[in-house]
Amino acid sequence: MRAVSNLTRLGFELDTLLDIDELVRGGGTVRPWLPFKANFMCLYGNNKTNTTPTDKEHGRRNVTKIGPLCSVVRGCGLARAHNGRGCYGNCYTCENKARYHIKYWIPVPQIFNERLLRKDLQRFHDERRDHGYEFIRTGDNGEPSYSWNNIVHLGELSIQYDLPLLVVTKSPVVSDDYTLERLANSEVVIHGSVSVLDPIGIRNNVLDLLDRYGEIGGKAVRRVVTAPFKSHLEDLWEIQDSLMYEGVSMQQPLRVTGTNPFLHLFDLEAFGPTFNHTSGVTTNRWKSAGDVGYGSRGCYASSCYECRNHCMTKPYVWRRFSN
């Protein structure tokens, strides 16, 4: 119940939170539901960050090469939201982990081992001409703010290899100022994922984190999950515009399925099919909002290695977007 009370404190409505016990009971006994294990942190890639073998069919192109990702935490307490569908009612990771009966709603901090991570960071640094990345990122497979200590350790280590750390977070767990100062000194870039669709508690947490981090000299970015609202919903457009224009920001267009609980708010004709990087086909099961009027300042459905923005970690991109 403690996890549920934390979410209601942030603005989620109690009757929309996942009944975890009911989900687990309904899952049968063939494959038990288990949380993530606490493993040693390492660098890895996926089929968006890395090129994959072309001699195999999609779905079998497993990524075996080192990549720019590193999980400081696996799992996310916000996965309870919207009856277990996660943030905005369509978290792809929630759906993916449920297939394998992983209790994604239980965040599990991973184990920091400096000696092992140094090997990965050195190798990734040495191969940068091949992969083109000049940063590493955390926050793709769990909510990192459940372990600010791991974030600090990783950020202070990665910068020694000229690889600044990018943190993508909704900040359900608030950081203290001393931690933020250490992150700023290590050139960590914080992307606060925020949207009009967030409960006000979550939105305030993210914006407060970014304001505090920017004030002490850190690079803080509003990673705004944007949506094409119906034209008469002017109040939602105004909030979205303010999120995009009042600070350093980039847009990440919302992706939805036909079960999304916010569909009644959207101009559905503005959504288009998405490319599935696992199957290699364009699908209408997931649809993307695309650019809703904010130009090239965005993160789209292309592969990460094809993206010119690189999450605003490149100096010339930062100068262009922060002015």
C-beta separation of 108 from 74 below 8 A:
yes
Alpha carbon distance 20, 32 (integer Å): 14
199-236 pLDDT per residue, tens: 999 999 999 999 999 999 999 999 999 999 999 999 99
Alpha carbon distance 94, 103 (integer Å): 9
Side-chain-side CA neighbours of 275 within 13 Å: the count stands at 10
**Higher pLDDT residue, 156 or 304?**
156
Q: Select from 133, 10, 6, 158 the least CA-distant residue to 72.
A: 158
Q: Select from 209, 174, 204 the least CA-distant residue to 189.
A: 209
Q: How far is residue 159 from each of residues 89, 136, 143, 164, 182, measured CA to CA in Å?
A: 35, 10, 21, 5, 12
Angle at 211 between CA 208 and CA 213, to 5 degrees: 105
293-318 pLDDT per residue, tens: 887 666 655 566 566 666 766 665 66
Q: Which two tokens stand for residue 36?
A: 């993530």
241-277 pLDDT per residue, tens: 999 998 888 888 999 999 899 999 999 999 988 876 6
Phi, psi of 124 (to 5 degrees): -65, -40
55-111 pLDDT per residue, tens: 666 555 555 567 789 999 999 999 999 888 899 998 988 888 888 899 999 999 999
Q: What is the DSSP letter of 112?
A: P
Q: Which two tokens stand for residue 210?
A: 């970014």
Map 173-192 to HEC letters. Answer: CCCCHHHHHHHHHCCCEEEE
Q: Are strands 219-226 and 272-275 parallel, antiparallel or unpaired?
A: unpaired
Q: How far is residue 121 from each of residues 44, 126, 159, 267, 269, measured CA to CA in Å?
A: 11, 8, 10, 44, 44
The pLDDT of 128-157, averaged and rounded, is 92
The pLDDT of 174-203, averaged and rounded, is 96
Phi, psi of 135 (to 5 degrees): -160, 170
Q: Which two tokens stand for residue 167?
A: 């943190």
Task: List the beta bridge partners of residue 34.
Answer: 102
Alpha carbon distance 256, 252 (integer Å): 13
Class of domain 108-322 (CATH, top level): alpha beta
C-beta separation of 101 from 31 below 8 A:
yes
* pLDDT at position 22 over 80: no
Q: Which amino acid is at 219?
A: K
* pLDDT at position 29 over 60: no
C-beta separation of 60 from 52 below 8 A:
no
Q: Select from 243, 239, 252, 241 the least CA-distant residue to 290.
A: 252
